[in-house]
Each structure stands twice: as structure tokens, then as C-alpha cells.
Amino acid sequence: MASGMLSLTCPSSSSLSLPHHFKGGAAAAGKPKLLNQASVFGKRFVNTESFTRTTMAVALNVSRFESITMAPPDPILGVSEAFRADTNEMKLNLGVGAYRTEDLQPYVLNVVKKAEKLMLERGENKEYLPIEGLASFNKVTAELLLGANNPLILEQRVATVQGLSGTGSLRLAAALIERYFPGAKVLISSPSWGNHKNIFNDARVPWSEYRYYDPSTVGLDFDGMIADIKAAPEGSFVLLHGCAHNPTGIDPTPEQWEIIADVIQEKNHIPFFDVAYQGFASGSLDVDASSVRLFAARGLELLVAQSYSKNLGLYAERIGAINIVCSSADAATRVKSQIKRLARPMYSNPPVHGARIVANVVGDPELFNEWKEEMEVMAGRIKSVRQKLYDSLRAKDKSGKDWSFILRQIGMFSFTGLNKAQSDNMTNKWHVYMTKDGRISLAGLSSAKCEYLADAIFDSYHNVS
């Protein structure tokens, strides 16, 4: 019987009830006859009657994908979907980490516009890039991360491959770990960016968490972090946020970074940095890369995933890179060949538009300096609303609660310490959209809305258990 057909066979004297137009005629008189197809309740039937049996085939409209269930909304991107459906004029979208102007509008950097104008003037084509991406992009990317005159670059010990922003670059690295370090575990901070676990799960790479956030201080649980890294199996990959930890906004101090490097080196672990906010956190490209450069200067082999979504505002261009610092140029050549091999069946080769923007901006001294100035302005605006939010909370809250953790955090996010019920109150009552772990994106906040947000936080913290 053909797939998608249901056969019903029963004796002719069966009590199966058929519509009136299936009865009578020759069949009713006891004479065998093949009836034409008929429609019953929207289905197609073929009816065959004899003296002894009636056979009826029913075509069913059942999808081959019937067993696939509805996926839950993404915990971050789903926030924006809910925000768009809200008609309240006071609504605030503080879920997704995307920079907004003081008018809460998306911002395209002036240097990006100039770089795109250069591309048009040059009449550059849209031919496929090599699997590893645009050569000029890879060059300036490694230099931006490690410093232009870094010996590692001069000795060709860095394998850089253009990836699909930070997410795609992390996914390439995860595939490399799964294939060439079978069974190795990745240690992820608790909490961490929500997509980290998804990436390693889909790559079939085992992971565990190390302590990072201390809710009692709304700060770093440094002792717990060190203890968990020490306890991990030797040769584990330790995923670190290069700067502006997401979601907490809490970074180790320079002295703590030194101790973290000591422990990783002693345990023969492999540091794996996620650098999504270089230059966007402090306003300085060099300051925000200092953690990575510290580890590299120690001679450690390491992995670094980079993204230009935030610092150049190239969110939709999906432009980033995976960098692997190796102990020799020969090892870097071999590693790069295998990353390319992994990329080929995933997406074949990366997009060119964003890569050319980065190459034009970072590779041109005038545009590069202008970019640094724009980053300082963006980082400065976030620092300003961070300060104003703190001032507003301090003025409203006479309970003695210390809100200074907001000022100690860095980057576009603030980890408010609100629990899920309190975060729900922020959304349901105040129309403030945020992730359920209490994280808010200050990049989506304006000075004019700081008082309103402080009211919402104050109410949620004190009036919702």
C-alpha cells in the first residue's frame, strides 16, 4: 500500500456506516461493482464491494514532520519579538545587545559609511572569497587582537580564518575540538552567554561550568572560579570572556588575570577566548585586548573567537574570525588547513562585504583613528547612562541597599540581580523587556529613560518576592 494511505477492510455485513451515496445501485442488489472515487469528510476514498468484503483506502493528510515539536523561543532574540508586539509607548527593549543612539535608534558608524563608499568607488566585484576569507581582513584582525608588531604574527604562528561573526567562529573552533581533541571538555563560566552551551551541544563537545558570579556581592566569585579550573581534567579548554563579560559585566582585575593564567598553565589547559567587545567596553582597543595578550605573551597556545558586530556596528554582516595561536609556524599552517576543511561543508566560504569594511577601516590610518573616536563616544554614552541609572536608584531607594555594583560592571550589560519573577514584573507591569536572568542591555537605554527604568527596578526588587 502506498505511504500515506490507510486501508480499512471489513466484512460486507459490517456495521461500518457509509454515506448514502455509497449504498444502493448494483452493489445493493448483490452484484459486484467497482464504484468511482468519492469524497467523504474532505478525504478521498476508493471503495471496492464484493459478496464477502468491502475494502476502502483512505488518503490521510499527515505530515512526514508530524513528530517535530515546536521549539521554544530563543531566550534573547525572543525578547525582541515580544517587544515588537507590545503597543505601550513606554516600552523598552533591553534584551538584545545592540547599540542605540540617545533617540534609541540603530546607529551606523560614519567610518562604515566611508568604507562602503570606497568599495563603490573601486567597483569591487562579488566573486567568491577563499575558504579562509579575505586576506587583508585576516591580517588586520590578527594585528588588532595581538598588536601589529607582535612576534607571534611576525613568526606566522597565528592561524586566522574569517568566520560568520562570533557565533560562527566559536562553532568552527568547537568542530575542531570535537574532531582533534575527542573527549576534551570545555569549561564555561556560570553564567555565560546563552548561546555558548548551544554551540558546544550541537558540536557534541562535552562541557561543564566553573563558578563566576557571586549573587551575595553581585560580583566575581574569584575563589570559586580558580578552584573549579584547578579541579578540571588536565588539558581542558577554558572559555574566557576577553572583556565585558556577558551577561554579568564583571571582569577580573589585571592581577586576577595573572592568577588565572598561572592556574591554566599549571593544569596544561588550553585558554579559549571569546572577544566580542574589543574597544567597545572601555573605549580602548588595547585595554580590551590586554587579557588575550597576557596569555599570548606567556607562550601559551590559545584560541580566540572575534566579532565585529558591536565595535563596528556590523551586526547583520556576520563578520568575525577564529584565531589559533600555535607553538610553531608549521603547526599554525596545519591547523589552518583543518579549519578550512571544517568550514567547507558548513558554509563553503564567508561573505565579503563586512570583511572589506573591516579591512578598509582598520587598514587605513585615518579611518582607523576616526573609528577609535567613534568607539569612545559609544562607550562613553553607555558609561553615562550607567552612572545615571545608579544615581536614580540611589536617590529612590532609602532601604540601604548598595547599588554600586552597577558602576563596577563594564560594557553594554548590567546584571541587576533580579530573579525570574522580578524580571517578569519588569516586563508585565513596566514593559521593560530583558532576559529572565536579570540582564539588561544599557546600550538600549537612553538618559531620558533612566528614571523610568529605576522606578521599574525599584518596584520589582522591593515588591516582588
Taking alpha carbons only, the member of 74, 436, 78, 410 closest to residue 460 is 436
Going by C-alpha positions, the residue among 98, 14, 465 that lies closest to residue 280 is 98
Instruction: Collect all residues with Cβ–Cβ distance below 8 Å to 438 and sequence separation of at least 6.
Output: 415, 416, 417, 418, 419, 422, 423
How large is the average pLDDT for residues 393-417? 93
Q: Do domains 77-107+378-463 and 128-363 have the same CATH topology?
A: no
List the single range of 56-65, 130-139, 290-299 with lowest mean pLDDT.
56-65
Q: Which residues are catalytic?
A: 193, 274, 310
Q: What are the CA-CA distances from residue 417 to residues 91, 200, 248, 405 (Å)? A: 21, 27, 9, 10
Nearest by Cα to 433 from 34, 97, 54, 163: 97
Q: Which of 9-18, 106-115, 173-182, 248-257 bottoms out in mean pLDDT, i.e. has the lowest?
A: 9-18
pLDDT digits (tens, 9 = 90+) for 440-463: 999 999 999 999 999 999 999 999
Residue 219, strand partner residues: 214
Cell representation of residue 41 = 469528510
pLDDT of res. 35: 42
- pLDDT at site 47: 52
**19-33, 58-72, 140-154, 203-217: segment of lowest average pLDDT:** 19-33
Write down the pLDDT at residue 59: 57
The reported pLDDT for the residue numbered 11 is 46
In sequence order, which residues have a C-beta less than 8 Å from that of residue 368 and are 6 or more positions away? 361, 362
- Whether residue 162 contacts residue 350, with contact meaning beta carbons closer than 8 Å, is answered with yes
Is the per-residue pLDDT at 371 higher than 80? yes
Q: Which fold has domain 128-363?
A: Aspartate Aminotransferase; domain 2 (3.40.640)
Q: How confident is the model at residue 96 (pLDDT cuts 50, 70, 90)?
A: confident
User: Residue 181: is its pLDDT beyond 60?
Assistant: yes
Euclidean distance between CA atoms 437 and 293, whole angstroms: 31
Residue 28 in grid coordinates? 445493493
**144 contacts 150 by C-beta, under 8 angstroms:** no
- In this predicted structure, what is the pLDDT of residue 458? 95
Q: How far apart are CA 286 and CA 295, in angstroms?
A: 14
How far is residue 312 CA from its own chain's centroid?
A: 17
Average pLDDT over residues 238-264: 97
Domain layout of the chain by residue ranges:
5-59, 77-107+378-463, 128-363
Q: Give burial (CB, 10 Å; 0-12/13-18/19+) of 23.
A: exposed
Q: Identify the band that residue 81 occupies on the pLDDT scale cut at 50, 70 and 90.
A: confident
Residue 22 pLDDT:
41
Average pLDDT over residues 396-424: 93
The reported pLDDT for the residue numbered 82 is 86
pLDDT score for 58: 57
Asked if pLDDT for residue 33 goes beyond 50, the answer is: no
Tell me: pLDDT of 13 over 70.
Answer: no
C-alpha cell recorded at residue 289:
585586548
CA-based nearest residue to 403, from 385, 420, 413, 391? 391
CATH number of 77-107+378-463: 3.90.1150.10
11-24: average pLDDT: 44
Q: Is the pLDDT of residue 266 over 60?
A: yes
Residue 308: the pLDDT is 97
Q: What is the pLDDT of residues 275-312, one digit of tens each?
A: 999 998 899 999 999 999 999 999 999 999 999 999 99
Minimum mean pLDDT among 54-63, 88-97, 164-173, 293-302: which range? Answer: 54-63
For 182-222, the pLDDT digits (tens) are 999 999 999 999 899 999 999 999 999 999 999 988 899 99
pLDDT the model gives residue 465: 81
The pTM for the full model equals 0.84
The answer on pLDDT for 437 being more than 80 is yes
Q: Which residue has the higher pLDDT, 46 or 463?
A: 463
> Picking from 78-92, 112-126, 230-244, which range would have the lowest pLDDT averaged per residue?
78-92
Which pLDDT score is estimated for 80?
A: 83
Which among 413, 410, 402, 393 has a CA at the least distance from the CA of 455?
Answer: 393
What pLDDT score does 41 carry?
44
Q: Distance (Å, rounded) from C-alpha 284 to C-alpha 303?
A: 22
Residue 390 has pLDDT above 80, yes or no: yes
344-369 pLDDT, tens digit each: 999 999 999 999 999 999 999 999 99
Nearest Cα to Cα of residue 79 among 440, 388, 452: 440
Q: Phi then psi for 307, rounded to 5 degrees?
A: -140, 145
Q: What is the mean pLDDT of the chain?
A: 89
